[in-house]
Amino acid sequence: MTEDVLIRREGAAGFLSLNRPKAIHALTLDMVHAMTQALLQWREDPSVEVVIIDHAEGRGFCSGGDIAFLRNSALNDGGISGRRFFHDEYQLNHLIFTYPKPVVAFMDGITMGGGVGISQPARFHVATENTRYAMPETGIGLFPDVGGGWYLSRLPGRIGQFLALTGARLDGAECKWAGLATHYLPHDGLADAKARLAAGHDPAQVLAALAVTPPEARIEGNAARIARHFASDRFEDVLASLEGEDSDWAAKELATLRTKSPQTCKVALRQLKDSLTCTDFAANMAMEYRIGSRVLTLPDFAEGVRAVIVDKDGAPKWDPASPEGVTDALIDSIFAPLPADEEWKPL
């Protein structure tokens, strides 16, 4: 059992409190396994009526997955341990999505990547004034996984495609407006909410009673632009559309996209498009595991992590270097089925 997740019972509630503050509670494989084991035990325990996912201390809910571990796998073991991480993490994501009891995730602070993966599938995902929500994977040669294809593709107005490509950060009010949070509570009200849940009160009623009206969502002012410029599933079309608008906003978003991996931007657009054809969340996760298994060992991931996290020079050398260099054949190979005995399956 790892100390990086504090697992406890309090009244009718089971708590999974992330406890790795120096890493903003980034998920390790041990944490994934501990959370999965607790959820499986509580699923069969009638005295556990609700599960609460939160963090123990520090400024973030969960900053993502263990990127350094994944890069080390890509460089040193051909991605074997990294694929296992994805496999087991996606099983946890799916377990939360299909859990028969209410799960309430409190996204109080930084919620990115793997943090989205353990909060978005919860029945209730609560934003606060501290929430900073993003799927920034294209900036490190990865893609918005952990179910991102499912959630982002189903947002209105191409907001999901915008978030997947740019890695834009949303605050709590913007999450609520976009449909990425079921409720908006003030940070100061969270302890009361958790106490009421532990006392056995109905989660929907508790959260509705304590929710407040969020501030104006800044992203709403750009919603029409986002819908127009990010309308296409071709990355080249998105870039051309932004190039065609003479505004500070378009110039800023275009400059942002120019820093991203062209390969994984194309992967993300295909991922969100294909997710809409998935019959259920498990099918989406099987697709994302195929993608992850390939992208992990392609050059852009190790290079992106080097540039952003290891050397911090902010100057990744993407390969291919341009959107035009990313062929349809390369994208098709990333999405192709795995051998039958290697395909992802839910728990």
Catalytic residue set: 65, 114, 137, 145
Q: Of 130, 97, 70, which is closest to residue 309 (Cα–Cα)?
A: 70
Which DSSP category does 183 fall into?
E
Tokens representing 261? Answer: 């991996």
What is d(CA 245, CA 243) in angstroms, rounded to the nearest whole number?
6
Largest CA distance in the chain: 60
Q: Which parts of 199-280 fold into alpha helices (H)?
A: 203-210, 223-229, 235-243, 248-258, 262-275
Would you tell me how many other CB atoms lie within 10 Å of the CB of residue 223? Answer: 17
| Cβ neighbours, 10 Å, residue 335 | 14
CA distance 54 to 102: 14
CB 27 within 8 A of CB 118: yes
- Categorise residue 34: left if φ over 0, alpha if ψ from -120 to 50, beta otherwise: alpha
**Residue 248 CA to its chain's centroid (Å):** 28
